[in-house]
A and B are shown apart, each in its own frame.
Chain A
Amino acid sequence: MFRKSVNVHALIMNEIKSVKAALLGFEGFLRLAVMPDSTVETLQSLEKGVCEAEGEADIALRKMIDSLVSESFLPATKKELIEISTSCDRIANKCEHASTTLVLQNFRIPSEYAEDVMKIISISVKQFAILENTIGMMFSNFKPLVKDHSVLDEIRHLESEVDVLEEGIYRRIFNGEGELAQKMRLSNMIELICDISDIIENIADQLQIMLITRRA
């Protein structure tokens, strides 16, 4: 029974690791995508890395779900673990989708938005680190987490920072010069990037519900 428990823990953390690899890969990809002189080939090679990490996350998710069948978790816990893992997988999907879109459209994020976009992705990476730590604690250090899960508030706080940056970017996009189609394309890309932070916040909410319902 104990060995199986380690197995699910390991499988979930394995998935988180792959999602993290996709997210960090996407951060590196964006760093290039905001440079006007970056080549398509370089972007493609980084995009490939993101896609591979996303594929690994998918495999890890399926393994984790399969392993839950033989686990002795309560049905409610199994459902919650699947929901959380699936949500984490959505982060990798979002990274893959955004990077693929940028490559296919051979699109570069204008330099005047570069700083804010990099801030947004950097904040998302910070959020994810907190999330990773919290999910790990669910399996190994549950007691203090149940007593105090204020760490999840930090994720929400960071998400609101992303919201502020996102809104600022939209204002600048639509108040500036240029064609509406270009503006829409850019705002769609910004939305894709900002979705990552929203997904992480949603996962934090799911975790909080899990913890609240498990107070002794």
Chain B
Amino acid sequence: MWIYLLLFSGLFMGWSLGTNDAANAFGTAVATRVVKYRVAIVIISIFVVAGALIGGDGNIYKLSSLAESNEVIASVDDVRSAIEAGTVGTLRLKSALKAAIIFACSGLTVFIMSYLKFPVSANQSIVGAVIGWGLCYADYSNPEVLSGNLKQLGKFASTWLINPLGAGLIAFGIVFLSKKFLEDKLTSLKSYDHLVKTGYIIAGAFASYSIGVNSSASVTAFYFDGAFQETGVAANLLTSPLLTAAIGGVAIALGVLTFSKRVMMTVGGSIANITQIDGFLVIIAMALTVILMEKIMGIPVSTSQAVVGAVMGAGLVRGIKNVNFGVFKRIAVAWISSPTVAGLLAYGVAFVTRGYFGT
């Protein structure tokens, strides 16, 4: 049973992700005091878990496949060989240990960045760590493997651009349309307040749901044994995709409930000079982007990148002077540095432990 203690590494990652991603769902609402912090974290927690239970299990397979191609978790062939050799227990331990190392590297990176008040991408740190690990084990003499690794890296890095850009475009469109059509609904100060409050709650719940769908798998997928259905033998800690996603969702919710205020205030208060209505439209744009990107790219993308891109897109509707590019640059450095740091950490650990895991 002690082997299940290794799950704590993933749970810590989920907790870190929750502390960071909560800002993207309700940062603006809490910073502008439209929604109380306590109300926000309860809504986020409920909808993150709901997203994990309803749509999170699909991502488990995608991520475990990525982990498999990067030597983090065992393939069906590896499991079959272990069954024949009678070493499934060792394989199970190694898979769980590798998952724990990946999450420890990315979790540590995210925690430090969050403490420094950067809206860093937890998802990207995880993928960065997986790729870092894979790069250590890649067979560089094989051009096919090398090209596969480079393709994976390229796809991963492209989300740094496509994700915020896509969110910016979607936000620009939504905010632009709201200027045309939403003003007609504002007949009184009361109706304005009602629209803003309702808008933030709906957008925040939707964003929390998208975080549950997008991120719950990220924090537990590497404990999942994708080969279980074929082999019938558990070669990792978890065998049910639903339970795997649910555990991820709960871990994120715990992060939201305990340590999310700092980043919430940064995201909500300092990136762009946007109105309250633009604030909840930005969140809707972020949630839409995250879901679209996950479908198109097949990689859980950064909600932080999406929300910052969306905030900038919304700010641009009113003119370029409404965008604080200084903050954007600071955050962009964090986007690139966090997966890189996590990747380097994972590469280093993989290199040092190669004697154990490589055999």
Q: Chain A interface (Cβ within 8 Å of chain B)?
A: 5, 72-77, 138-143, 146-147, 213-216
Contacts and interface: CB of A to CB of B under 8 A. Distances in A.
Contacts, number: 59
Contacts of B32: 76
A213 B196 CA distance: 12
Contact of A74 (B34, B178, B179, B275): B34
A143 B189 contact: no
Nearest to B183: A216
Contact of A77 (B183, B184, B186, B193): B193
B276 A146 contact: no
Interface of B: 32-34, 178-179, 182-184, 186-194, 196-197, 275-277
B interface secondary structure, majority: helix
B187 A74 contact: no
Contact of B187 (A75, A142, A147): A142
A216 B277 CA distance: 6
A146 B152 CA distance: 50
B30 to A, nearest CB: 12
A73 B186 contact: no
A214 B188 contact: no
B197 A5 contact: no
Contacts of A72: 193-194, 197
17 contacts: A74-B34, A75-B34, A76-B32, A76-B33, A76-B34, A77-B193, A139-B189, A140-B188, A141-B188, A142-B187, A143-B184, A147-B183, A213-B276, A214-B186, A214-B275, A215-B277, A216-B275
Contact of A142 (B33, B182, B191, B196): B191
Contacts of B33: 74-76
Nearest to A210: B189
B193 A74 contact: yes
A142 B189 contact: yes
A108 to B, nearest CB: 44
Given A214-B275, A214-B276, A73 B189 contact: yes
